[in-house]
A and B are shown apart, each in its own frame.
Chain A
Amino acid sequence: MAKKEMIAMLLAGGQGSRLGVLTADVAKPAVSFGGKYRIIDFPLSNCINSGVDTVGVLTQYQPLRLNSHIGIGMSWDLDRNSGGVTVLPPYESTDNTDWYTGTANAIYQNIRFIESYDPEYVLILSGDHIYKMDYESMLDFHKRNKSDATIAVMPVPLEEASRFGIMIANEDHQITEFEEKPEHPRSNLASMGIYIFTWSVLKEALLALKDQPGCDFGKHIIPYCHSKDQRLFAYEFNGYWKDVGTLGSYWEANMELVDLVPEFNLYEEYWKIYTKSNNIEPQYIAPEARVDRSIIGEGTEIFGEVDHSVIGTGVSIGKGTVIRDSIIMKECRIGDGVTIDHSIIGEYSKIGDNTHIGVGEYAESQYDPKVYAFDLVTIGEHSVIPANVSIGKNVAISGETVRSDYPDGNLPSGGYIIKAGDEA
């Protein structure tokens, strides 16, 4: 096989459990974002835009949607004669058959894939961030500094720094120390989970730590490299970068796209974001419809009112329906006379006529107050909500619900109905 200077390994096997019912049936990188995209489109588009044409995508949790989305990589121009995209699921072998037990373990189990391209450098990416980044200039930085491992970092407000892995670097950007979620951070440079390794260095570390349970880049590989006095550098990134790991940050990142001039601009010719497009026909806005401060995907038909919302592709929104501050993912059918407020509705869901979602006063979630802590009604994909019911705030619903699931036609704030996913 032709030698590649750098190949990318994209970690896409995580569940993203803090997205609650949104990831009941799909891996987090396959969750919709910004109307027509999925989260994984951002790192994949960054790869092809940076000239990285060989990408291994490591899958594990609920990979169906991810597999069908990626296909042979045609949407990202990653259908190549040499290289391109390869989906790498865990596999059985004569000894040591194992799931991917950690981020670095997943790479360890695919050393043969990497070696087949004989790369000088390996780029490690994760599939849960929204950003545009030129990996080529990060590689230039890596080469210029004769680095063994380069970690992309981003300055964060000091008071938030204790949520991240923090790098402490000298004026030459060389990393001298690092701290995982420190109580009293000594720097504001947070690791973005993006690494470039000189392959020989990473390979040596992976082999040395092969018996480490749950072998992880942040917890094991980087400390190991540091202990071996390898040259670690921090590559500072100052563009837009958003972790969409929680329902709150996911909602916020979507809503930022609606701003008059969004900080993260999808309308520029430069650095396009690619995705698999099934719908291509234009959207239809009916005579009685009203649309304000929103973005709307292809093929959607709007007969009602949409205000400050992100609507996916192929959605239909009925007459007299009002949607506010919400995210409606692709192919949802929203009936007539519905109101939806502060909600995230998963793909292919159906909402019956005259149903009201997000009414009343806020109440803490009875299902999982840590996950559902952002006053958002969250409805998993392929859910069905019957007609004429009233649903409170901060509710979680997943699965095909029927009228009898709603005593007196009501689901109070903080309540939940889970009929699909792990607990079905």
Chain B
Amino acid sequence: MKALGIILAGGNNSKMQELSKKRAIAAMPVAGNFRCIDFALSNMTNSRIQKVAVLTQYNARSLNEHLNSSKWWDFGRKQGGLFLLTPTLTEDNSWWYRGTADAMYQNIIWLKRSHEPYVIISGGDCIYKMDFNKLLEYHMAKNADITVVCKEVDPHVDISRFGVIRMNEDSRITEFEEKPMVAQSNTISAGIYVIRRRQLIEMLERCAEEGRNDFVTDILIRYKNMKRIYGFKITDYWANISTAESYYKANMDFLDVDVRNYFFKQEPKIYSKVDDLAPAKYNTGADVHNSLISSGCIVNGKVENSLLFKKVFVGKNCVIKNSIILNDVYIGDNTHIENCIVESRGTLNANTYYSGGDGIKIVVEDNERYVL
């Protein structure tokens, strides 16, 4: 593969509410056994990209723990490998990453010392499957300076949290607005880009000289008339996690057989860190319908239209409906949970009632857990 990979995983979003307290979005658990960043990492390894940098900044403990070995995604080879690039103090720089462009600029040595002609940049907060070889072919065929992966969304979807794109008939991007109040089109940027490595270095250096820090506003939007920037439209599943609602929806999407088959049954596969948990166990009283259950779970109660992440314990006579229970949650007997996201490692007392009503409630409970 003729490209390097860069995954932007430093981000956080206050719209994730309590969920982002513990971790960066890239480390959010997704679909039971996965983390958000697994999708970008798996796409890169499946596209035979050998050298990948993950740029982290915001609360990276959980992410670092997940990336404790690169072997899960088949990096850790003699050539290339997985590079965790966090902000560091140097003689001439003591800044945190002030934006996505600045984050790459602060690691420009890594870019300069590589020899791959192209760079694939992806957010760590997207759930998708993609063969970057096809993207690169398109990029070269269009003789583009930058190619932006984009997706048309349904007209009713609120796209104010995305970059909105307009293209001409040749797919060249003519308009690019970041998070507009009133959108001019329903094509949005998927946060995945290809660019020639030397071109990227040049643009990053220029940005830095001008004191500019953001890849989208200071490179894509600023250069859109000067450089050949193209859009590459995808029609397959793509979801971005930036709010509690989008997080809830993306997880619930996996209850759909087509989404499951697309990600889990069709090659290539999505990889994740392996946890070596025992198979899920259903005791008398378990009553599970239309739900995804992960390994290490022990179920004694009712679970409906829900996702149980790894190592969840559901007590007797519990009712769990339309909810997402994150890793290692203990739910005492007779507890009712409806329309909730229960934060990981929580302990929910017996005989309690949680409901998100018409919305979604985020439950963070750190009660004492008594383990035999």
Contacts and interface: CB of A to CB of B under 8 A. Distances in A.
A388 interface: no
A34 B296 CA distance: 13
B45 to A, nearest CB: 15
6 contacts: A281-B263, A284-B291, A285-B303, A295-B281, A297-B279, A298-B295
Interface in A287-303: 287-299
B94 interface: no
A282 B307 contact: yes
A283 B308 CA distance: 10
Interface string A60-83: 000000000000001100000000
A13 interface: no
B284 interface: yes
A325 to B, nearest CB: 15
B114 to A, nearest CB: 28
Given A294-B282, A296-B282, A299-B264, A282 B31 contact: yes
A267 B284 contact: no
A293 B298 CA distance: 11
Contacts of B287: 290
Contact of B279 (A35, A74, A280, A281): A35
Contact of B293 (A74, A285, A288): A285
Contact of B280 (A75, A281, A296): A296
Nearest to A284: B292
Interface string B270-286: 11101010111111101
A274 interface: yes
Given A273-B278, A291-B282, 16 more contacts: A74-B71, A273-B276, A274-B276, A277-B276, A281-B34, A281-B270, A282-B294, A282-B295, A285-B289, A288-B289, A294-B281, A295-B282, A297-B279, A297-B295, A298-B33, A298-B294
A275 interface: yes
A292 B255 CA distance: 21
Interface string A241-281: 00000000000000001101000001100001111010011
A286 interface: yes
5 cross-chain pairs, A with B, having the tightest CB-CB distances, nearest first: A282-B32, A266-B278, A35-B279, A282-B292, A287-B290
Given A289-B288, A291-B288, A298-B295, A283 B276 contact: no
Contact of B276 (A272, A287, A288): A272
Interface of B: 31-34, 71, 255, 260, 263-264, 270-272, 274, 276, 278-284, 286-296, 298, 303, 307-308
A298 B283 contact: no
Given A260-B284, A277-B276, A298-B33, A285 B296 contact: no
Given A275-B276, A298-B33, A267 B282 contact: no
Interface string A217-259: 0000000000000000000000000000000000000000110
Q: Main secondary structure on chain A at its contact with chain B?
A: loop
Interface residues of A, number: 38
A290 B284 CA distance: 11
Contact of B286 (A266, A291, A299): A291
A393 interface: no
Interface of A: 34-36, 74-75, 257-258, 260, 266-267, 272-275, 277, 280-299, 310-311, 313
A217 B34 CA distance: 47
A22 B191 CA distance: 50
Contacts of A277: 274, 276
A25 B368 CA distance: 50
A313 B270 CA distance: 16
Contact of A293 (B270, B283, B295): B283
A283 B293 CA distance: 5
Nearest to B263: A281
Given A267-B296, A280-B272, A282-B31, A296 B289 contact: no
A290 B282 CA distance: 10
B75 to A, nearest CB: 14
A400 B8 CA distance: 50
A253 B293 CA distance: 24
B313 to A, nearest CB: 9
A297 to B, nearest CB: 5
B278 A282 contact: no
Given A291-B286, A292-B284, A297-B279, A282 B296 contact: no
Nearest to B271: A280
A282 B276 contact: no
Contacts of A288: 289
B276 to A, nearest CB: 5
Which interface residue of B260, B281, B283 has the most chain A CB atoms within 10 A? B281
A55 B292 CA distance: 38
Nearest to A297: B279
A285 B164 CA distance: 38
B289 A286 contact: yes
